């Protein structure tokens, strides 16, 4: 009896949602020039995100020396962004132009599930990287090796799939776009649907954001203390008392200073990725909660414009990472130049033997902690 009542309640909510959806089909949308401009920018984002993240995957795949634990995590993050760019963004761009979903109800649920699936995986990898940096810099425990990284990556894929599966199974209300350029979570009063949305929002943003924020605050505090300690120890050495033991001490302090400088630079890059994640996903998380819990917000006249801006900003995250890599990581820039066809290379490619003569430091191979992409 209770199962029948539950089924009838879900059917009633679905019919009410469809009636409301049809009655609001003529709701105000964005002006055509703005919609076309956003769609064109989204297509450019697809190209940049696909090419940039593909370079990361190729670097890790082709070079065995680059298959460290952190690089495997970065390659997985890049792969999730590639799949998000290919499986979700093109359909959102087409719907932006046509203002109509042309791919059917079943694919609507599938696209929503894929969207959350790849987003969850990307967030999980970024969380793992942040915790790993916390263990290395704060706890001084470098426990993540390539084998453990592969196991953690497999577990993260499985958990992301389990969390996103209810969107396909119909356990949550996903509406065909008429109020948004993509299948989104619709307003519902079902406690089960609302509980799932709360779980989804916590898994996608709020829980990872809290853990990463605490990790980065501890890392910043540790880096500051280490920098002060190294500076004080170097000042305490008198240049007139450089015995053999003092020289060894100076060399050890120089090594610590170099290692600290490298860790600080690598941490800064990851911190920038965290800031980009926060700026791109905080609006979308708040928007999703308001869509499900606030009837007034969901049926307001500005919902379509809000949905378009928030979804566009969330997709910007898949393009943000390669741009940061190109800006911060020299190896990534060099790999991009090497992978370019000869016809697109302005400067002639310098042979590796000549480059080693020009820059003798390139002959040395960094250890695993310094081989990040």
Is the pLDDT at 223 greater than 90? The verdict is no
Question: Does residue 97 or residue 253 have the better pLDDT?
Answer: 97
% of the chain with per-residue pLDDT over 90? 28
Q: Tell me the mean pLDDT in the region 298-310.
A: 88
Q: How confident is the model at residue 8 (pLDDT cuts 50, 70, 90)?
A: very low
The percentage of the chain sitting over the pLDDT mark of 70, rounded to a whole number, equals 71
Quick one: average pLDDT of 304-321? 89
Per-residue model confidence (pLDDT) at position 156: 96
Tell me how far apart the alpha carbons of residues 323 and 338 are, in angstroms, rounded to a whole number.
17
Report the pLDDT value the prediction gives residue 162, as an integer from 0 to 100.
92
**How many angstroms separate the CA atoms of 229 and 208, rounded?**
31
- Scanning the structure block, which residue is given the tokens 């009837």? 295
pLDDT at 70: 87
Q: Model's pTM, two decimal places?
A: 0.78
CATH of 30-234+251-341, one of 2.30.40.10, 1.20.1070.10, 3.20.20.10, 3.40.50.720: 1.20.1070.10
Element (H, E) at 84: helix 69-87
Output the DSSP codes for 224-287: HHHHHHHHHHHHHS-GGG--HHHHHHHHHHHHHHHHHHHHHHHHHHHHHHHHHHHHHHHHHHHH
| Concatenated DSSP letters of 273-318 | HHHHHHHHHHHHHHHHHHHHH-HHHHTSTTHHHHHHHHHHHHHTHH
Contact yes or no for 163/199 (Cβ under 8 A): yes
pLDDT at 76: 95
Whether residue 24 has pLDDT greater than 90: no
């Amino acid at each position: 009896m209770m199962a029948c009542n539950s089924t009838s309640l879900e059917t009633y909510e679905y019919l009410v949602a469809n009636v409301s959806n049809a009655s609001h089909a003529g709701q105000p949308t964005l002006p055509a020039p703005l919609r076309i401009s956003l769609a064109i920018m989204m297509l450019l984002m697809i190209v940049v995100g696909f090419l940039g993240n593909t370079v990361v995957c190729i670097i890790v795949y082709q070079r065995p020396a680059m298959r460290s634990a952190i690089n495997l995590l970065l390659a997985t993050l890049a792969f999730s962004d590639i799949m998000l760019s290919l499986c979700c963004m093109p359909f959102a761009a087409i719907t932006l132009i046509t203002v109509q979903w042309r791919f059917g109800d079943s694919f609507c649920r599938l696209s929503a599930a894929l969207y959350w699936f790849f987003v969850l995986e990307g967030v999980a990898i970024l969380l793992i990287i942040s915790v790993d940096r916390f263990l290395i810099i704060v706890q001084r425990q470098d426990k993540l090796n390539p084998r453990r990284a592969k196991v953690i990556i497999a577990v993260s894929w499985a958990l992301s799939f389990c969390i996103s599966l209810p969107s396909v199974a119909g356990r949550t209300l996903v509406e065909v776009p008429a109020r948004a350029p993509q299948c989104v979570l619709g307003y519902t009063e079902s406690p089960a649907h609302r509980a799932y949305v709360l779980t989804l929002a916590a898994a996608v943003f709020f829980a990872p954001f809290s853990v990463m924020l605490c990790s980065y605050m501890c890392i910043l505090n540790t880096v500051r203390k280490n920098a002060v300690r190294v500076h004080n120890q170097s000042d305490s050495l008198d240049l007139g008392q450089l015995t053999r033991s003092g020289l060894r001490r100076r060399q050890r302090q120089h090594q610590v200073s170099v290692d600290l400088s490298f860790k600080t630079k690598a941490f800064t890059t990851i911190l920038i990725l965290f800031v980009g994640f926060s700026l791109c996903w905080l609006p979308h998380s708040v928007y999703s909660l308001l869509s499900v819990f606030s009837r007034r917000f969901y049926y307001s006249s500005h919902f379509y414009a809000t949905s378009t801006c928030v979804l566009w900003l969330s997709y910007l995250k898949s393009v943000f990472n390669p741009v940061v890599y190109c800006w911060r990581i020299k190896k990534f820039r060099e790999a991009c130049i090497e992978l370019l066809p000869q016809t697109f290379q302005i400067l002639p490619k310098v042979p590796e033997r000549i480059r080693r003569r020009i820059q003798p430091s390139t002959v040395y191979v960094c250890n695993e902690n310094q081989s990040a992409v």
